[in-house]
Amino acid sequence: MMQRRTAVLCTAWYAVGASALSSSPWFDLAPPSAPERVSTLAEARPPHRKIATIKQKGDDGFAVSVDGRAELRFQRVEATWAASLGAALWPSSLALAGLVDKFVEGRSVLELGSGLGLGGAAAAQAGAKRVVCTDMDDELVEMLSSTGDAYQLDWCDEDTFLGEKFDCVIGADVAYEASVVPDLVRATLAHVADDGVALIVGERKRPAMRALLEALPADLTRALDYDMERVVLAEPPPPPENFGIAVLAYAPSRAALDGLLGRLEAEASSS
């Protein structure tokens, strides 16, 4: 299966300053626990060009690296995070981390539904001039605030909207059920600059991703399909895990949308 992914790895790692991590009770710089999971993200359709390789070590304590850059390390605090679905690294978060370096350099970035903030972290490493993370969970926002700008944003409550526009709005696994789609669309459109772009990533199997595609302006939205394979490095190795990843690209202008798609295509072609 790996033979068809022939492209050179495209680099996209995130490094967190040791001073920021050491001052936060949410992070632990100790070596992460085993196992090590290696994820590859490639186009679902031929010629299966390589997009990214992500290594995730451990489950409760984990380190995430995209194509070999310095590790972002987390240690779960179970008493605090047990009830939060955002306190996990979902496959879509890994996929988003492998894609943001294609279009965020020198731009302002807002991440919706940040959870652990992997997408925003990858954007910062990729050269974004400003990254703002948001989540509805106040405990996750507190954690995210320890290493950067973070705010509590409830898509259902416009009073929590930030009142500013961003060059890039990103999100992973934010369309998890169809009922959230109208509010997600409103929050996305409210924060994208007129010449900005939005990239929402989710597993293809979720009906809400189809609902989101249908809810966004049809002439300014494109859907891209990717395959993601996650391999656990262990002896004996278990079977690989496979995920279908849907990427929805939106922009308020056709020129901005074409530019985003062009950058994604150019990176894929050269990889």
What are the start-end ranges of the H helices in the chain? Answer: 18-22, 78-81, 91-97, 118-125, 138-145, 181-191, 207-215, 254-270
Between the alpha carbon of residue 132 and those of residues 56, 198, 220, 252, the distances in Å are: 24, 14, 24, 20
Tell me the pTM.
Answer: 0.84
pLDDT of 243 reads 93
Q: By three-state DSSP, how is residue 270 classified? A: helix
Give Cβ neighbours of residue 10 (< 8 Å, ≥ 6 apart).
50, 51, 52, 67, 101, 267, 270, 271
Report the 3 state secondary structure along 104-118: CCCCEEEEECCCCCH
Residue extents of the structural domains in the chain: 2-270
Residues of the chain with pLDDT under 50: 1-30, 32, 77, 79-82, 268-271
Q: pLDDT tens, 200-258?
A: 999 999 999 999 999 999 999 999 999 999 888 888 888 999 999 999 999 999 999 99
pLDDT of 234 reads 84
Whats the size of the chain, residue-wise?
271
Taking the C-alpha atoms of residue 38 and residue 55, their distance in angstroms, rounded to an integer, is 4
pLDDT of 237 reads 85
Fold of 2-270: Rossmann fold (3.40.50)
DSSP class of residue 269?
Answer: H
